[in-house]
Amino acid sequence: MKRFLGFPKVFFLLEASEYGFILASLNVKIVTMQFEYTNNSLGKISSDALLFFAFSDGKKYLPLGEFKSIDEILDGELSKVCNLERFKGDKGELITVIPAKETLFKRVVIVGLGKEDEFILDFLRKAAGHFAKFNKHKIDSVSLKLPGELEKDNSLELISQVIAEGFMLGSYEFNKYKEARKEQRDFSTVIISTKDQDSKAISKGVEKAKLFSNATILARDLVNEQASVATPSYLADLAKQIAKENPKKISCKVLDKGQAEKLGLEAFLSIAKASDIPPKFIVLEYKSQKKAKRKVGIIGKGITFDSGGINVKPGDSMQTMKCDMSGAAAVLGAFSVISALEPEFDVIGIIAATPNLISGTSTVPGDVAKALNGKTIEILNTDAEGRVTMADSLSYAVKMGATELIDLATLTGAAEVALGTDITALFSNNANLADKVKAAAFTAGEKVWELPLEKEYKDLNKSEVADVANIPNTRYGGAITAALFLEEFVDTKPWVHLDIAGPAFITSGNEIGPKGGTGFGVRTLLNFFIENKI
């Protein structure tokens, strides 16, 4: 596509990623959105849409001053339409003005951010996402200038990162199985008007956004893929590919059923044995270039489909159960870009991957399995399978010498009931680690809320015949009792458990993505990697 970018100077920093080329040979979709930089003023850039943001109090259009100059170019048409349409700048409000006059920009779009004093940076990500979602098949390109006035609270790098993430995540679709996708027009180019001296910070934020978005999209694709395709072997092959991409920093080991048996992963296999689909126990290791003392274990629940097992789920609750490997998807997403972010500590990723199906050889209620750490589990309900497989993956991480653990699991419907579909339930035995994860999640725009690991509820998981039962003797407090179950397998390591059952898979879309897999947790993990120096 030919585009007039004008005089005097245009500079491209497209592939000059300081993070290097990643994901290149992975057989996964990567965002191909191009970011171009120019020091032309907004009115002199040719694009399909020119984007502004607005605060609702005092109708403050961002970037300040720019709105006025564009309005002047349009002989006041912009303010006239905004007034006529009573555009206020409320959160989620979006207005499109197609100028009567011939201009280089085909339309002007303004997205509301809500009240200025309630503003947090994630609203900007959402506003950019909302713009992308609304326009993704109408436009090829957008031009904008970053709202520099937000710089008093946030770095320019972070401002550009959240906007770029909004564009890339908001444009995401899972249309692999849709015939109609062929004729689609796709939003593919972002032109940022900037001063030379700011371009470095901006492009740094954009490059980070590319990593964060690609990793999130990889996770979304894995979750949205049908369970008959996204099998344990599929996840294992992807893990191997990720390691192959970066052999100096990442290694991968995949245990098959026989090897898992030998090692004593009985809890994991007790769930796997109901299916002919081969289970895989996946171990990824990232080695920091520094001699690190910390080894962070990230553990993802990898139930590739949860039928409930012998305690079969009712049809309605089973429909979305391809999402039960969302924790695993987050771990794989994070590992796909980990070497570019270079955390200063070692990281291990563990996924016990299997479907939870039904057959004549299924585990049945009352069966007992021994986890890798020696504790025995009475399986009273085969639908509480995640915690049983996680018993082994957590124990394995501890055995590998993890100094701290973060797990992500679509573990309980109770977490979704408690906090809704936007918020993840966070549990922890260590306030310091919990604070770090909360901070990383906040920067990522991923909501978490801590629930208590109430010791006095521990007895609810008691078993008559084994060390612990896989379901409690009450249906109340189900997210807490599940977390307390997992705690049996973390030794005394600092540990954060994220029950992502609500946000991992959404049944109506939000500003930064469609219904389906969200890739929740990926960006929290990536921020955790960067924000935590040794």
As annotated, the active-site residues are: 313, 387
Applying CB under 6 A, among 324, 392, 404, 487 the residue interacting with ligand BES is 324
Shorter beta-carbon distance to Zn ion: residue 332 or 384: 384
Residues numbered 480-519 forming contacts with ligand BES, rule: CB under 6 A: 501
Tokens of 408: 């992500």
Contacts with ligand BES by CB under 6 A: the residue count is: 16
410: contact with ligand BES by CB under 6 A: yes
User: Stretches 32-40, 232-240, 377-385, 390-398: which one binds ligand BES (CB under 6 A)?
Assistant: 377-385
414: contact with ligand BES by CB under 6 A: yes
Kindly state the smallest distance separating residue 414's Cβ from ligand BES, in Å. 6
Kindly state the smallest distance separating residue 30's Cβ from ligand BES, in Å. 28
Q: 366-371: which pairs have CB atoms within 8 A and are 24 or more residues apart?
A: 367/270, 368/465, 368/466, 369/266, 369/267, 369/269, 369/270, 370/264, 370/266, 370/267, 371/266, 371/267, 371/395, 371/489
What whole-number distance in Å separates Cα of residue 150 and Cα of residue 152?
5
- Residue 416 binds which of ligand BES, Zn ion, none (CB < 5-8 A, kind-dependent): ligand BES
386: contact with ligand BES by CB under 6 A: yes
- Residue 275 binds which of Zn ion, ligand BES, none (CB < 5-8 A, kind-dependent): none
Kindly state the smallest distance separating residue 326's Cβ from Zn ion, in Å. 10
What whole-number distance in Å separates Cα of residue 322 and Cα of residue 306?
7
Kindly state the smallest distance separating residue 375's Cβ from Zn ion, in Å. 20
Amino acid at 380: L
Shorter beta-carbon distance to Zn ion: residue 298 or 303: 303
Kindly state the smallest distance separating residue 314's Cβ from ligand BES, in Å. 11
499: contact with Zn ion by CB under 5 A: no
Amino acid at 2: K
**At 202, which helix (H) or strand (E)?**
helix 199-224
Tell me how far the alpha carbon of residue 154 is from its chain's centroid.
22
- Kind of pairing, strands 280-286 and 250-255? antiparallel
306: contact with ligand BES by CB under 6 A: yes
Applying CB under 5 A, among 225, 245, 266, 324 the residue interacting with Zn ion is 324
Q: List 347's β-bridge partners, or say none.
A: 286, 296
Reported residue count of the chain is 534
- Kind of pairing, strands 295-306 and 346-356? parallel
Angle at 482 between CA 478 and CA 487, to 5 degrees: 145
- Residue 413 binds which of Zn ion, ligand BES, none (CB < 5-8 A, kind-dependent): ligand BES
Shorter beta-carbon distance to ligand BES: residue 318 or 530: 318
Q: Are 193 and 145 in contact (CB under 8 A)?
A: yes
* Contact string 160-199 vs ligand BES (x = CB under 6 A): ----------------------------------------
What whole-number distance in Å separates Cα of residue 502 and Cα of residue 414?
9
- The count of other CB atoms within 10 Å of the CB of residue 366 is 10
Applying CB under 6 A, among 66, 198, 378, 383 the residue interacting with ligand BES is 383
Shorter beta-carbon distance to ligand BES: residue 221 or 416: 416
What whole-number distance in Å separates Cα of residue 449 and Cα of residue 442?
11
Which residue is at the shortest CB distance from ligand BES?
413
413: contact with ligand BES by CB under 6 A: yes
Kindly state the smallest distance separating residue 319's Cβ from ligand BES, in Å. 11
Closest CA to 192 of 181, 180, 202: 202
User: Stretches 83-91, 132-140, 211-219, 378-386: which one binds Zn ion (CB under 5 A)?
Assistant: 378-386
Kindly state the smallest distance separating residue 463's Cβ from ligand BES, in Å. 14
Tokens of 53: 């943001």
365: contact with ligand BES by CB under 6 A: no
Kindly state the smallest distance separating residue 499's Cβ from ligand BES, in Å. 9
User: Stretches 121-129, 347-355, 411-419, 490-498: which one binds ligand BES (CB under 6 A)?
Assistant: 411-419
382: contact with ligand BES by CB under 6 A: no
Strand, coil or helix: what is 173?
coil
What whole-number distance in Å separates Cα of residue 398 and Cα of residue 404?
8
306: contact with Zn ion by CB under 5 A: yes
**Strands annotated E in 29-140:** 34-38, 49-55, 60-62, 94-97, 108-114
**At 237, which helix (H) or strand (E)?**
helix 232-245
User: Stretches 35-43, 158-166, 257-265, 407-415: which one binds ligand BES (CB under 6 A)?
Assistant: 407-415
412: contact with ligand BES by CB under 6 A: yes
Shorter beta-carbon distance to ligand BES: residue 92 or 366: 366
385: contact with ligand BES by CB under 6 A: yes
Residues numbered 241-260 forming contacts with Zn ion, rule: CB under 5 A: none
Residue with tokens 């048409």: 77
DSSP 250-294: EEEEEE-HHHHHHHT-HHHHHHHTT-SSPPEEEEEEE--SS--S-
Q: Check the CA dihedral 377-382-383-385 and report its sign.
A: positive
386: contact with Zn ion by CB under 5 A: yes
- Kind of pairing, strands 404-409 and 295-306? parallel
Q: Check the CA dihedral 468-470-476-481 and report its sign.
A: positive
Applying CB under 6 A, among 378, 392, 416, 487 the residue interacting with ligand BES is 416
Tokens of 441: 């999640």
Positions in the binding site for ligand BES (CB under 6 A)? 306, 324, 381, 383-386, 410-414, 416, 471, 478, 501
Positions in the binding site for Zn ion (CB under 5 A)? 303, 306, 324, 383, 385-386
